[in-house]
Amino acid sequence: MRPACYFVHSEAYKQYKFNDEHPFNQKRLDLTLDLMQKYELIKPNQFVEPRYATTEELELIHDPNYIEAVKKCGESEKLPIIAASYGLGTEDTPAFPGMHEATSLIVGGTLRAAELVMSGECDHAVNLAGGLHHGFRGRASGFCVYNDCSVVIAYLRKHYDAKVLYIDTDAHHGDGVQWAFYDDPHVLTVSFHETGKYLFPGTGKIFERGDGQGFGYSINVPFEPFTEDESWLDVYEQVLSEAARGFKPDVIVTQNGCDSHFLDPLTHLSCSMEIYRQIPKLAHRLAHELCDGRLIATGGGGYDIWRVVPRAWTLLWAELSDQGFSDNPAIPSEWIDRWQADSPVQLPPFMFEAEDVLPDIPRRPEITSKNKLYIEKALLHAPK
């Protein structure tokens, strides 16, 4: 029997690496895959190799001059002078050797996932190296060189004329994807993120709703800092269910950044592992309800690579491959034994946190009521 869900993966994904100190660390892919394997959640016939995105495919979104600059930056020892004007060579997104090839492979992985899903070879496909949602048309930003989410959506528009629902649950606003389709009524982008009042990139305000024909087809929910599970999930479930049913997509693309966890060092939300059980559960249900199961899942942010990312993305895979956890299993001791020596922190004993390790939330009732207000406001002009 064919698997319902494929895992697009390559050892070469690790070449997307800025430097040793950089918080975007692809070691998290090893940690995740190993955890999935120790739980016996993935079979050999579920692995698929990515391909390289072609320059024509990248140009569906990116400016040819920018692509040229990325190629040049990855080839030369010295940073070309033009780098700065393309957002390359910054603290966030430094140039690195072979950066064009490394990013093209990640974009190609997400395209491969789309091909599998659209051809009916499987219902869902997962590319955890993807989710580079900050990449702009002509500019690298926020650890992202090319934007695989934008490219795959443009690809789905071009080759399948599909209506695409994009769900972004990274703690940072999915700005690159939003602006790429801001005036397109065939692409509904829904982003749930920590408010840009404080956090990068600063956009994703509730009144960013799209432009022209696309008005109403961008939805933003900015959460207050220190928002916790209950409030986060309440808003997520109501906004996403209503928007998705109103829009009636042909295919769903999800960005599964897992940096909203309270342990994440770059953000200020107070969510636990529980949201990473619930996020894919609803997206999965909506995919079967609205678009014959067609769902392409990408990774994204996640900077506690030892404690948060492996568990969160294992939960994503478990859900989409119909092996979702209903209990709270122990983390396999073989996994802990293999990695604990490398880890600067104590690895977690269970999949979900015990109530008593969750942080205390300052001003919790105010945060909850402010978030609740956003349900109605976010849906004000959403497709009905």
Partner 1 sequence: MLVEDIMNRNLVTIKPYETIRLAMLLTAQHRIRHLPVVDDTDKLVGIVSDRDLRDAGPSRFDNESDSEQNEDIFNRKIQDLMNKNVITAHPLDFVEEAAYALYENKIGCLPVVDGDNLKGIITDTDILYTLVELMGVHTPSSHVEIQVDDLPGMLADISAVFKKANYNVNSVLTFPGKHQGKKNLMFRVQAVDTRRLVQSLQESGFDVIWPKEPEK
Which residues bind to partner 1, rule: CB under 8 A? 23, 90-92, 134, 141-143, 172, 175, 196-203, 226, 265-266, 268, 270, 359-362
Taking alpha carbons only, the member of 239, 232, 322, 233 closest to residue 285 is 322
CB of 29 to Zn ion, least distance (A): 16
257 binds Zn ion (CB under 5 A): yes
Give the separation between CA 16 and CA 49, rounded to whole angstroms: 16
277 binds Zn ion (CB under 5 A): no
Q: Residue 134 or residue 186: which is nearer to partner 1 going by CB?
A: 134
Whether the bond into 97 is cis, omega within 30 of 0: no
Instruction: Give the SS3 label for residue 161.
Output: coil
DSSP state of 165: E
- Catalytic choice (9, 134, 172, 284): 134
Count of residues interacting with Zn ion (CB under 5 A): 7
Which residue's C-beta sits nearest to Zn ion? 301
Beta bridge partners of 6: 125
CB of 280 to Zn ion, least distance (A): 10
Binding mask 103-132 for Zn ion (x = CB under 5 A): --------------------x---------
CB of 178 to partner 1, least distance (A): 12
Give the separation between CA 348 and CA 46, rounded to whole angstroms: 27
Q: Residue 89 or residue 185: which is nearer to partner 1 going by CB?
A: 89
CB 269 within 8 A of CB 262: yes
DSSP state of 14: G
- Catalytic (active site) residue 381: no
Residue 257 binds which entry of Zn ion, partner 1, none, CB below 5-8 Å type-dependent: Zn ion
170 binds Zn ion (CB under 5 A): yes
Residue 115 binds which entry of Zn ion, partner 1, none, CB below 5-8 Å type-dependent: none
Binding segment toward Zn ion, per CB under 5 A, in 31-39, 59-67, 164-172, 179-187: 164-172
CB of 365 to Zn ion, least distance (A): 27
> Contacting Zn ion (CB under 5 A), which of 9, 28, 163, 172?
172
| Residue 254 backbone phi and psi in degrees, to 5 | -115, 145
Residue 89 binds which entry of Zn ion, partner 1, none, CB below 5-8 Å type-dependent: none
Q: Residue 243 or residue 263: which is nearer to partner 1 going by CB?
A: 263
| CA terminus-to-terminus distance, the chain | 38
168 binds Zn ion (CB under 5 A): no
Beta bridge partners of 223: 194
Residue 170 binds which entry of Zn ion, partner 1, none, CB below 5-8 Å type-dependent: Zn ion
CB of 335 to Zn ion, least distance (A): 25
Cβ neighbors of 220 (< 8 A, separation 6 or more) are 173, 178, 190, 191, 193, 204, 205, 206, 208, 209, 378
Residue 143 binds which entry of partner 1, Zn ion, none, CB below 5-8 Å type-dependent: partner 1
Q: Residue 1 or residue 81: which is nearer to Zn ion going by CB?
A: 1
Helices (H), ranges, 40-83:
55-58, 64-75
Q: Residue 115 or residue 170: which is nearer to partner 1 going by CB?
A: 170
Helices (H), ranges, the chain:
27-38, 55-58, 64-75, 99-118, 148-160, 175-180, 229-247, 274-290, 309-320, 333-339, 364-379
Instruction: Provide the residue type at 186 as one letter.
Output: H
Residue 124: enclosing H or E segment and its boundaries? strand 124-127
Residue 269: enclosing H or E segment and its boundaries? none
Q: Residue 224 or residue 319: which is nearer to partner 1 going by CB?
A: 224
Q: How many CA atoms lie within 13 A of 86 on its CB side?
A: 26
Residue 270 binds which entry of partner 1, Zn ion, none, CB below 5-8 Å type-dependent: partner 1
Instruction: Give the SS3 label for residue 193.
Output: strand
259 binds Zn ion (CB under 5 A): yes
CB of 382 to partner 1, least distance (A): 23
Q: Residue 150 or residue 321: which is nearer to partner 1 going by CB?
A: 150
**Any idea which residues carry the catalytic annotation?**
134
Interacting residues with Zn ion (CB under 5 A): 123, 170-172, 257, 259, 301
